Structure 1
Amino acid sequence: MSLLAPRSHLLNGLNAEAYRRCIAEGADRVAARLAAVEGPFTGITPDRLAPTVDAVDLDRPLHDASAALDELEETYLRDAVYFHHPRYLAHLNCPVVIPAVLGEAVLSAVNSSLDTWDQSAGATLIERRLIDWTAGRVGLGPAADGVFTSGGTQSNLEALLLAREESKSAEDLSKLRVFASEASHFSVQKSAKLLGLSAEAVVSVPCDRNKRMRTVSLAHELEKCVREGFTPMAIVATAGTTDFGSIDPLPEIAELAARHDTWLHVDAAYGCGLLVSLKNRHLLDGIERADSVTVDYHKSFFQPVSSSALLVRDRTTLRHATYHADYLNPRRTVEERIPNQVDKSLQTTRRFDALKLWMTLRVLGAEGIGALFDEVCELASDGWRLLALDPRFDVVVEPQLSTLVFRYIPERVTDPAEMDRANLHARKALFASGDAIVAGTKAGGRHYLKFTLLNPETTTADIAAVLDLIAGHAEQYLGDSLVRAS
């Protein structure tokens, strides 16, 4: 093969026109697929799709982007899970706004790396400006700072790293304790393990009937911790739990954190959309007292994955994530006031994910994003009323954000285990049909279904139709079960 062939695919000034044509064709293919999608999924199984993917000979290139796109139709695009469809109701995956996708195309082509100034230039300043903007929305004060991350799990990990290093007992990790509600994200436990804390380090605090941390229980656990000679390292309050969208009582938790001189981290990966809400910003009152905050723009700001950040009240605490390398960010760059984002990050090479949010704000504005998030929260309230009035279903809590957890209750079945099996089957059958996708979780040890509503195009009619589908699949299972039993 001539060396000219592969070089003709490098993105540079010589190949700018080829780049434009290739990207335009890719955009045309995706646009056509988006317009043609009839459901969120085709229902294809791994066993059916795997042979198509396995048949691709990666050592025999096609030498043609159009041919590669044709192949991609079969291996990916035709059977992808499409979050933009109004009956995708499963996980915390939002449809994305066009300005953010434009930003994604630009950042991928330029390919800046956000670790150092000499790899990014203006990209560094844009990220820093967005961190300041978000910290201002939170209310963290003039000393605040932060950095974009890969997602909530990384943000929570770095927040707890800072909390550990700021703790008075950082030298004796066995003494440290982290307090989080029983509905908090699993990344709290995962982070504790990665940070070398003991298996007992994370204290699970009970929730009330609305799945919010009980502050009376938190106060009790904090006092017990001190009484037994341990050190409260951090309290993790959640502003939007993954399962229920519940928001812990932030002002009361902040009071307890201050009383015990304990780092307060607020995991607002989901609830950060309230920062731009036109109606419900008050639900985050108290977040301004946090020492650190996790935000996931790719959950409730309608951004493509990934676009997230960790914010801190005191920028000096980020020094705990700083390491200097002579080839990258030598100490002299600090004296020269060169802004290197790697000094704040757990990552080194890092994408310019901030550009997506920047483009969104410059086109839609904060109020535009907030209006979209308010729509899905209102939709969840409408969905809750539908469920509460429908005798076929049991709904767990009235939503604060946009999540509904419920379960089908067959009229003629009293065995909870059989109800579990009916709900599990309904979810699986619905996914296999491709008509809709819902999530599942557990509440009180029993299996429940979950709607995570993040698409403003979803309607109450969609919700009602999916509920009917769920009931139909559950009844089909129960009918077949009776036949099998006889």
Structure 2
Amino acid sequence: MALSFSPDIASDYAIEAATLVNRRGCKQLLEQSHAAIDTVAMAIDRARRPCSGASPSELRPAVDRVCLDGPGIGFSEALAELGPLYLDPAIYFHHPRYVAHLNCPVLTSAAAAEMVAATINTSMDTWDQSAGATLIEQKVIAWTAQRAHLPASADGIFTSGGTQSNLMALLLAREHYSARHFGPGSVAMNGLPPEAARWRIFASEMSHFSSVKAASLLGLGQKAVVPVAVDSAWRMDIDALETAMDSARAAGEIPIAVVATYGTTDFGSLDDVAGAARLARRHQAWLHVDAAYGCGLLVSPTRGHETRALAQADSITVDYHKAFFQPVACSALLVARGADLGHVTHHADYLNPVEAAEAGTPDQVNKSLQTTRRFDALKLWMSLRSVGAEAIGRLFDAGCALARTTYQRMLAEPRLDLLHAPELGTIVFRFRPSLGLAPAVLDELNEAIRSDLATRGEAMLAATRVRGRRYLKFTLLNAETTPDQMDEIVTLVLCTGERLAADRVPTLAVVGGRETRDAG
């Protein structure tokens, strides 16, 4: 029976259909894309600061005034409206004074590929939704695994980010252990056995919080993650790891996984993967390497040889949207044995029936925690095909070199306490004025420096706590930032610190003919 519509409904339907991406809608897509790119280009061009310093209380009223239930206002008006709501207060990672978190400026080829992927709207779960795209993703995974020196049996899957990759890695570690001791699929079918309360995961005290979060989500509890002390370079201390694992065994606990961090969030420290692998093998534990940050070394033309130790990993997290200059999200989990991904496989008759797998249909959903999934591999594919892996590696190397140069210059400033020589692109430091201040006051002062610079839009720094004390942090991923521009940021920190410190120094008083500090 043919569908029929009232005249009004038919008219509305025709208007809506004309805006869809199809043969008729492509002209409108082209016009709107040009307008959007022009708007973004102008926003980037006029971004003289890394941020506006706007607070939530300042922005929220304007967003709240927008009525999403009302009639549409047209693309041009909606785009113009986006200026004060998003583009003006946006954080611009390309700006040389953005030195805060692990956010990178992105390659133009990758940004353009985003539009291709969004327009075609491929879903990466089954072959019948992603022909071609599936093979491209598999090729990118195989290429990355080869760069990481994993065996021919390696495989992997794109994920939403390092947190999901780490969760999936520890899920595989849990299933790998339980399959050996209780039979394949035992936990998936029956839940955790009583002895799971004794399973332990070992990670450095500087590892990413996602390992603790994963243990919680996997039913092991946060206490299952044993923090391991670090050495003077903020790397996991292998002797401390050995002691911790042996002590766990002696106490009746069961090591099931070791997490080595290849580029810690705070310090960029590269854990001794070979040492961690040796101990993991001794205890028959899974070795996961969180290389979300350090994966940039995989394409480094000067330091790529350092990644050979990754060959000993059972799984590796890589974040292309950190170290390969890709738009968020672009991350993957690699595994040394592709068969281990079978622990997350579930067959649904309406999507990926078992017969399809038996016939060899490459449904990527069989390897993933996600079902519907974006074609994020296209961004990296287009970047590799456009500029090549070495060019991407040189961008990463430039950030590391900038960190070393900046560190050397900062060493000459007595008002800066530096905690480490950078291995990658991060520098952790603390402003200490010439006038002595109590540690708690110094904590508050350093946080105030960061806040003051951000509020004024002068620069964006990160902050962290080390041994309970507040420190500032530079994260350098922008290859176009110069040493002189970093000198300007350091000068801003020093001048702001002295200005704010003056407000915190006790007032001068005259006692017995001499000046003293008023203790009050």
- Secondary structure at the aligned position of 1:293 is classed as strand
Q: Given the alignment of the two structures, is residue 178 of structure 1 paired with residue 201 of structure 2, yes or no?
A: yes
Within-5 A mapping of 1:279-294: 279-294=302-317
Q: Which amino acid aligns with 2:340?
A: T
Give yes or no for contact 2:345–2:366 (8 Å, CA) kept in 1. yes
Q: Residue 341 of structure 1: which of 357, 360, 364 is its match?
A: 364
Q: Residue 201 of structure 1: which of 207, 210, 224 is its match?
A: 224
Cα distance in 2 between the residues matched to 1:455 and 1:287: 26
Q: Given the alignment of the two structures, is residue 104 of structure 1 paired with residue 114 of structure 2, yes or no?
A: yes
Q: What is residue 141 of structure 1 aligned with on the other side?
A: 151
Cα distance in 2 between the residues matched to 1:290 and 1:450: 30
Q: What is residue 420 of structure 2 aligned with on the other side?
A: 397
Task: Give the root-mean-square deviation of aligned CA atoms.
Answer: 1.3
Give yes or no for contact 1:239–1:284 (8 Å, CA) kept in 2. no
Moved over 6 A (4+): 483-486
Q: Residue 429 of structure 2: which of 400, 403, 406 is its match?
A: 406
Give yes or no for contact 2:149–2:308 (8 Å, CA) kept in 1. no
Q: What is residue 59 of structure 2 aligned with on the other side?
A: 49
Deviation of 1:483 after TM superposition, in Å, equals 7.1
Q: Which amino acid aligns with 2:121?
A: N
What stretches of structure 2 of length at least 5 have no aligned partner? Answer: 1-7, 183-192, 508-517
Q: What is residue 451 of structure 1 aligned with on the other side?
A: 474
- Secondary structure at the aligned position of 1:112 is classed as coil
Deviation of 1:29 after TM superposition, in Å, equals 0.6
Q: Given the alignment of the two structures, is residue 253 of structure 1 paired with residue 276 of structure 2, yes or no?
A: yes
Q: Which amino acid aligns with 2:51?
A: F
Q: Which amino acid aligns with 2:87?
A: L
Deviation of 1:150 after TM superposition, in Å, equals 0.3
Q: Given the alignment of the two structures, is residue 123 of structure 1 paired with residue 146 of structure 2, yes or no?
A: no
Q: Residue 216 of structure 1: which of 236, 239, 242 is its match?
A: 239
Q: Which amino acid aligns with 1:232?
A: P
Give CA-to-partner distance per residue, 1:157-215, whole Å, 9 cap, x none. 00000100111456431121000000000000000010000342111000001110000
Q: Which amino acid aligns with 1:68?
A: A
Cα distance in 2 between the residues matched to 1:36 and 1:396: 36
Cα distance in 2 between the residues matched to 1:452 and 1:60: 43
- Secondary structure at the aligned position of 2:226 is classed as strand
Cα distance in 1 between the residues matched to 2:59 and 2:408: 39
- Secondary structure at the aligned position of 1:427 is classed as helix
Cα distance in 2 between the residues matched to 1:64 and 1:181: 52
Q: Given the alignment of the two structures, is residue 68 of structure 1 paired with residue 91 of structure 2, yes or no?
A: no
TM-score by length of 2: 0.92
Q: Residue 6 of structure 1: which of 1, 12, 16 is its match?
A: 16
Give yes or no for contact 2:256–2:284 (8 Å, CA) kept in 1. no
Give CA-to-partner distance per residue, 1:354-412, whole Å, 9 cap, x none. 00000000011000100100000000000110111111101111011000000101110
Cα distance in 2 between the residues matched to 1:355 and 1:190: 29
Q: Which amino acid aligns with 1:36?
A: R
Q: Which amino acid aligns with 2:163?
A: T
Q: Residue 315 of structure 1: which of 326, 333, 338 is its match?
A: 338
Q: Which amino acid aligns with 1:41?
A: C
Q: What is residue 82 of structure 1 aligned with on the other side?
A: 92
Deviation of 1:80 after TM superposition, in Å, equals 0.4
Give yes or no for contact 2:201–2:259 (8 Å, CA) kept in 1. yes
Give CA-to-partner distance per residue, 1:4-28, whole Å, 9 cap, x none. 2222211111111111111111011
Q: Given the alignment of the two structures, is residue 132 of structure 1 paired with residue 142 of structure 2, yes or no?
A: yes
- Secondary structure at the aligned position of 2:311 is classed as helix
Cα distance in 2 between the residues matched to 1:432 and 1:483: 26
Q: Percent identity?
A: 49
Q: What is residue 28 of structure 2 aligned with on the other side?
A: 18
Q: Residue 481 of structure 1: which of 459, 481, 504 is its match?
A: 504
Give yes or no for contact 1:276–1:366 (8 Å, CA) kept in 2. yes
Q: Which amino acid aligns with 2:123?
A: S
Cα distance in 1 between the residues matched to 2:243 and 2:504: 48
Cα distance in 2 between the residues matched to 1:407 and 1:290: 35
What stretches of structure 1 of length at least 5 have no aligned partner? Answer: none
Give yes or no for contact 1:150–1:306 (8 Å, CA) kept in 2. yes
Give yes or no for contact 2:148–2:308 (8 Å, CA) kept in 1. no
Cα distance in 2 between the residues matched to 1:310 and 1:71: 39
- Secondary structure at the aligned position of 2:114 is classed as helix
Cα distance in 2 between the residues matched to 1:421 and 1:341: 49
Give yes or no for contact 2:291–2:319 (8 Å, CA) kept in 1. yes
Q: What is residue 27 of structure 1 aligned with on the other side?
A: 37
Give CA-to-partner distance per residue, 1:281-333, whole Å, 9 cap, x none. 23333111100000000000000000000000001111111011111101001
Cα distance in 1 between the residues matched to 2:107 and 2:364: 27
Cα distance in 1 between the residues matched to 2:169 and 2:239: 25
Greater C-alpha radius of gyration: 2
Give yes or no for contact 2:94–2:478 (8 Å, CA) kept in 1. yes
Deviation of 1:109 after TM superposition, in Å, equals 0.3
Within-5 A mapping of 1:229-240: 229-240=252-263
Deviation of 1:457 after TM superposition, in Å, equals 1.2
Cα distance in 1 between the residues matched to 2:148 and 2:418: 32
Within-5 A mapping of 1:293-442: 293-442=316-465
- Secondary structure at the aligned position of 2:411 is classed as helix
Give yes or no for contact 2:402–2:482 (8 Å, CA) kept in 1. yes
Give yes or no for contact 1:291–1:312 (8 Å, CA) kept in 2. yes
